[in-house]
Structure 1
């Protein structure tokens, strides 16, 4: 199978126009700030009117080097364990060298930063999948990377911190003493566990503190979702039959959206997947899809970025330090939020204990240790397989492996 030549932009096919980003009424233009901190091509992609955006040949070559296309497997062991007569397929993004889907957009964003003459890329990370992907992409392309990692994950996921540094990245716990926002957060709460929103603010502030730096985000913004659609574009070609149900986990939304949006787009255009349901699964620790408000909010805690309309728990939300740290973001990508509001995407949340049970079952049945985040999707797969009629078909995105999530699995085995 060939690597796709295009990313898919669902904004062209949405049932109603996506509300644009806006500036708050305080006199400072966050949209102008984006032009200073983001690679210019990413801004063009954020507002493109193209349905299909060409993937640069250099990025396609990088995709081939890291192992795209990723495999799509039939979950024979899980089917046998459940014995429901439901066929289950999964796209395995954990086969990529950084262990998750995050590398798809990391390579593209670092590539565009270098085109803009950047000497350093700066970013945030929650559980560390995104930080590790940026570190690897930066190493492959020969540029420095600086990562602000939520403090609870920095302390609990030391292997990811280690390997980011092996790839040459500078990694700092967030909140940190390096930025004004970090110092203020620590003064207000010395034991602050960190949040992805705060790490984003610190990364942006740090970007502005030096010359030759570009900020690259790991989720939520439209161009991040765009790059991840390479997953769904491949999956459409690989699936032997149209699924009745498509499932993915949601932190900011890039994983679920990357897998499902090409299929949702085809359904909206009347070109297939007419009977397919789409289910987004989140953590009860950050239930923006199921309990959030659909309103304009800042993507970051400090309010440095433009406000976007999304399902949100509020940009000052500080989630509890759960083991699925990649799902602790306060909001969801604007396109995903709109599709959820319109009833095209269903949403569900799960607690940690039931997700752990699903992770253990999948590992023993399929032989793959799933990431804690991906295990939320697996929990929904198991529940739906037990509910759907025999002969139904489920497809889900296994967004990453859990081999670096020792803290999660120590809790499972006691």
Structure 2
């Protein structure tokens, strides 16, 4: 029988997160104070984030120990997650490539987001913080933080991009079940939300606006801190538990990947799988290929500019150097709500600049077509975000067939789509629209 699944025992789960900062091909540009345009004082960040997260954001340590309390909860929420071989997809494509996927949808919240949510809630609780406030796109991140808050005894408030709030009502109910407060963004609760609603009462929102609302909320409450689901280094670092597990699981299957793929909004799930493998490339120990897949409606990697920009639409965050479409970019209301962001993780931006990671963009009709094929062959309905990776993998597998190459492709199936069925309904009934961006206000207001 072919080996089609690799499962680690709980005691075999990696005990450290990987911090890519010491291994990057160039130093990370410092975040700039939005008021002075000079490198920000880390003390100022502690009013927004939990103190330990600020330390991790700037740490020069290559590996950071995962606290025992987090490891215990990781096991309870479904870690280590399984790694599968997609043999039925391979047969449908008639490709010589072997396709493997790390299935983060096996966690109890249904996506990879729980990996950093638990860490951030743990450090906040230890500091004595009472409430965490955050944004969410499609709702996977909001769901994860809502559960993390329930497990660690924290109040959670979530500003959810309005388009997803309307498209995915069950996400809202799930967050409320875990005890969180949910508001559509832009909302009338903040001055920034009211500003965008005044411009357009039906504004679909986006992660940039929701981030602004969450930070404004935090700045009005000394007992609250902001929690971010992607982009920053400490968030991506917490996700590397995925790739560290995958390395061990590929060894169990006597395989080594040639090609590693993930979808990208801000970069957390791509980095989570890829960065432990990128480490070997940066050290000259391997020659893996890396492909990062994004929506053409929010093409920060393929059409953005590498420059300093705000991480949010309301200009409350420090400026960070990244690939960006501009903090005022109006992101179309695609179903992959978790990818509706104007910017990109600074660490991933550097890897793209050095040609280590290759970006590619697709329309949402293409990614839903790939998702349906995956569901009909492998049985798992991918989240619309994860479906971008599926589409990228299918194209790579077909190219391998054309060239007669026996590629070994590994990708991150970062979440299931069982609460995203509205997008599938629109696709199956021919109502799904593609969006081609017309302009990018990259430097507006900078």
Tell me, yes or no, whether TM beats 0.5: yes
What TM-score, normalized to structure 2?
0.91
What pairs with 1:200-211 in structure 2 (closer than 5 Å)?
A: 200-211=211-222
Q: Distance in 2 between matches of 1:191 and 1:30?
A: 38
What's the CA shift for 1:26? 4.5
Q: Distance in 1 between matches of 2:44 and 2:169?
A: 33
Q: Is the 8 A contact 2:197 2:203 kept in 1?
A: yes
Q: Within the alignment, does 1:266 sit opposite 2:295 as a pair?
A: no
What's the CA shift for 1:4? 1.0
Q: Distance in 1 between matches of 2:242 and 2:340?
A: 23
Which whole-Å deviations, capped at 9, do the CAs of 1:206-249 have from their partners, x for residues lacking one?
Answer: 11222311111011011000000000010011113111110000
Q: Within the alignment, does 1:338 sit opposite 2:353 as a pair?
A: no
What's the CA shift for 1:189? 1.4
Q: Distance in 1 between matches of 2:395 and 2:41?
A: 43
Unmatched 5+ residue regions in structure 2?
1-7, 430-446
What pairs with 1:7-18 in structure 2 (closer than 5 Å)?
A: 7-18=17-28
| Most deviating of 387-396 and 39-48 | 387-396
For residues 30 and 357 of structure 1, do their structure 2 counterparts lie closer, same or farther at Cα, with a shift above 3 Å needed? farther
| Structure 1 residue matching 2:47: 3-state secondary structure | helix
What's the CA shift for 1:24? 3.5
| Most deviating of 13-22 and 280-289 | 13-22
Query: Match of 2:412?
Result: 397
Query: Match of 2:296?
Result: 284
Which among 315, 318, 325 is matched to residue 313 of structure 1? Answer: 325
| Structure 1 residue matching 2:326: 3-state secondary structure | coil
Query: Match of 1:413?
Result: 428
What's the CA shift for 1:67? 1.1
Q: Distance in 1 between matches of 2:42 and 2:333?
A: 31
What's the CA shift for 1:38? 0.6
Query: Match of 2:362?
Result: 350
Q: How many residues align?
A: 412
Query: Match of 1:251?
Result: 265
Q: Within the alignment, does 1:237 sit opposite 2:281 as a pair?
A: no
| Structure 1 residue matching 2:109: 3-state secondary structure | coil
Q: Distance in 2 between matches of 1:121 and 1:237?
A: 34
Query: Match of 1:371?
Result: 383
Q: Distance in 2 between matches of 1:136 and 1:329?
A: 24
What's the CA shift for 1:13? 0.6
Q: Within the alignment, does 1:96 sit opposite 2:107 as a pair?
A: yes
What pairs with 1:74-153 in structure 2 (closer than 5 Å)?
A: 74-153=85-164
Q: Distance in 1 between matches of 2:370 and 2:42?
A: 42
Query: Match of 2:168?
Result: 157
What's the CA shift for 1:16? 1.1
Q: Distance in 2 between matches of 1:289 and 1:32?
A: 31
Query: Match of 1:362?
Result: 374
Query: Match of 2:191?
Result: 180
| Structure 2 residue matching 1:84: 3-state secondary structure | coil
For residues 12 and 27 of structure 1, do their structure 2 counterparts lie closer, same or farther at Cα, with a shift above 3 Å needed? closer
| Structure 2 residue matching 1:36: 3-state secondary structure | coil
Q: Is the 8 A contact 1:23 1:31 kept in 2?
A: no
Runs of 4+ in structure 1 displaced over 2 angstroms? 24-33
Which whole-Å deviations, capped at 9, do the CAs of 1:32-70 have from their partners, x for residues lacking one?
Answer: 542112100000000000000111111111101111010
Which among 21, 37, 56 is matched to residue 31 of structure 2? Answer: 21
What's the CA shift for 1:294? 0.2
Q: Distance in 2 between matches of 1:325 and 1:37?
A: 24
What's the CA shift for 1:412? 2.4
What's the CA shift for 1:390? 3.7
Q: Distance in 1 between matches of 2:37 and 2:378?
A: 55
Query: Match of 2:225?
Result: 214
Query: Match of 2:47?
Result: 36
| Most deviating of 206-215 and 3-12 | 206-215
Which among 193, 214, 233 is matched to residue 204 of structure 2? Answer: 193
Query: Match of 1:298?
Result: 310
Q: Distance in 2 between matches of 1:63 and 1:191?
A: 39
What TM-score, normalized to structure 1?
0.97
Q: Is the 8 A contact 2:42 2:54 kept in 1?
A: no
| Structure 2 residue matching 1:98: 3-state secondary structure | coil
Q: Distance in 1 between matches of 2:33 and 2:17?
A: 28
Q: Is the 8 A contact 1:30 1:305 kept in 2?
A: no
| Structure 2 residue matching 1:148: 3-state secondary structure | strand
| Structure 2 residue matching 1:37: 3-state secondary structure | coil
Q: Distance in 2 between matches of 1:318 and 1:11?
A: 31
